[in-house]
């Protein structure tokens, strides 16, 4: 192998220069530690979180950082605008309709790998996350208490959502707001149930799905009865048509267009998410003989969920889903 003829003095000289340059990066960007006088507005608060950790705060948290959209939404719904939240741009696109963010909220990175740097820089009183961020609990706990909420549980998603809301409310001193929020949500369930009963269409089951496409390959993701959407449907007395296998946390199934063949003669209302604008259900599948042969396709019984309604969100997002159920069943 031939080796390039580097100028002998060039390499050491360059390295030395680089070293000098680095050494000069002195000075500080902050003042030293000052007095840390936090006055407790009310007494200490404590909850046992989803991972059975006891989270205790001397006072309810005012500066909250949320690492998943659902918790961002819940905190805001309780009147606690987060100081930092993961993937703000995505939040505004997918969730924002139900609970918009203030301009003051700082983006702390992606939901998959939030920046611990950015979180620490905000000196939060509390960081709220779901269990998939478990790997960084230890790091964050070095500087701020961490509350882990469940996020989703296909066994009973509404009770799970109440537990999550209550935990966040307890630690942010907003239990009264949580009660009001939940009453509002239950009111929504009642109103939707009434609206569907009034329309007299409640016997028709619904199927809710999203999907993704690569070239001609199309995968469909049906939301089972255990998903948040599924739980909302059940709460207002509707029947979910998806009976296939789903995962234990999110209640989501997986299938392809052939998996839809079971609904060939079924009377149902098909609600789909087209937030990615990939037009799977309204364009890409048109022309496929299985799809074209489905009763709900032939009947035109297809409904596109409004954009920016988050199907894995908190009570306000769930309220928007319920509103859409009412609209679909009134039509």
| Interface with another protein in residues 187-246 (CB under 8 A) | 212-219, 244-245
**Residues 114, 66: Cα–Cα separation, whole Å:** 10
| 317, 106 Cβ separation under 8 angstroms | no
Q: Does residue 26 belong to the site contacting another protein (CB under 8 A)?
A: yes
| 285, 257 Cβ separation under 8 angstroms | yes
Question: Which residues between 262 and 321 bind another protein (CB under 8 A)?
Answer: 262, 264, 276, 284-285, 287-293
Radius of gyration for the alpha carbons in the chain, expressed in angstroms and rounded: 25
**Residues 105, 84: Cα–Cα separation, whole Å:** 5
Q: How many residues bind another protein (CB under 8 A)?
A: 84
Return the range that interacts with another protein (CB under 8 A); candidates 58-66, 158-166, 170-178, 253-261.
Answer: 253-261
| CA-wise closest residue to 306 among 95, 76, 120 | 95
When the beta carbons of 47 and 108 are compared against another protein, the nearer one is 108
Between the alpha carbon of residue 174 and those of residues 50, 56, 62, 115, 129, the distances in Å are 19, 15, 10, 27, 18
Return the range that interacts with another protein (CB under 8 A); candidates 4-12, 178-186, 193-201, 226-234.
Answer: 4-12
When the beta carbons of 180 and 213 are compared against another protein, the nearer one is 213
Q: Does residue 159 belong to the site contacting another protein (CB under 8 A)?
A: no
Nearest approach, Cβ of residue 215 and another protein (Å): 5
Q: Does residue 58 belong to the site contacting another protein (CB under 8 A)?
A: no
Strands 269-272 and 206-214, by their bridges, are: parallel
Q: Does residue 259 belong to the site contacting another protein (CB under 8 A)?
A: yes
Return the range that interacts with another protein (CB under 8 A); candidates 168-176, 189-197, 248-256, 306-314.
Answer: 248-256
Nearest approach, Cβ of residue 328 and another protein (Å): 25
Side-chain-facing half-sphere of 135: CA atoms under 13 Å:
6
Nearest approach, Cβ of residue 82 and another protein (Å): 14
Looking at 122-268, list the stretches that DSSP marks H as alpha helix, in order from N- to C-terminal side: 137-141, 157-172, 175-199, 228-235
- Binding to another protein by CB under 8 A, coded x per residue (else -) over 88-127, reads --x----------------xxxx-xxxxxxx-xxxx----
């Amino acid at each position: 192998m031939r080796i390039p003829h580097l100028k002998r003095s060039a390499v050491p000289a360059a390295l030395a220069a680089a070293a000098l340059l680095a050494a000069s990066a002195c000075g500080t960007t902050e003042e030293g530690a000052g007095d840390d006088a936090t006055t407790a507005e009310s007494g200490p608060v404590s909850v046992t979180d989803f991972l059975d950790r006891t989270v205790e705060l001397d006072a309810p948290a005012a500066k909250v950082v949320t690492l998943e959209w659902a918790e961002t939404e819940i905190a805001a719904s309780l009147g606690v605008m987060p100081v930092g939240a993961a993937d703000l741009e995505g939040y505004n696109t997918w969730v924002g309709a139900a609970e918009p963010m203030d301009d003051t909220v700082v983006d702390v990175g992606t939901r998959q790998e939030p920046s611990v740097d950015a979180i620490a820089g905000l000196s939060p009183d509390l960081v709220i996350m779901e269990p998939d961020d478990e790997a960084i609990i230890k790091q964050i706990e070095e500087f701020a208490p961490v509350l882990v909420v469940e996020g989703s549980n296909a066994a009973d998603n509404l009770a799970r959502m109440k537990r999550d809301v209550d935990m966040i409310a307890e630690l942010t001193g907003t239990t009264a707001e949580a009660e009001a929020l939940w009453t509002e949500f239950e009111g929504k369930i009642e109103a939707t149930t009434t609206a569907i009963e009034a329309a007299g269409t409640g016997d028709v089951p619904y199927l809710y799905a999203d999907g993704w496409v690569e070239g001609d390959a199309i995968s469909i993701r049906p939301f089972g009865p255990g998903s948040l959407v599924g739980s909302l449907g059940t709460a207002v007395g509707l029947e979910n048509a998806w009976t296939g296998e789903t995962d234990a946390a999110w209640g989501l199934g997986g299938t392809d267009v052939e998996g839809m063949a079971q609904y060939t003669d079924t009377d149902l209302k098909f609600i789909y998410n087209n937030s990615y604008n990939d037009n799977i259900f309204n364009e890409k599948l048109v022309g496929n003989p299985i799809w074209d042969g489905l009763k709900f396709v032939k009947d035109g019984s297809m409904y596109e969920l409004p954009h920016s309604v988050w199907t894995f969100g908190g009570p306000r997002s769930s309220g928007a889903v319920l509103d859409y159920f009412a609209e679909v069943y009134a039509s």
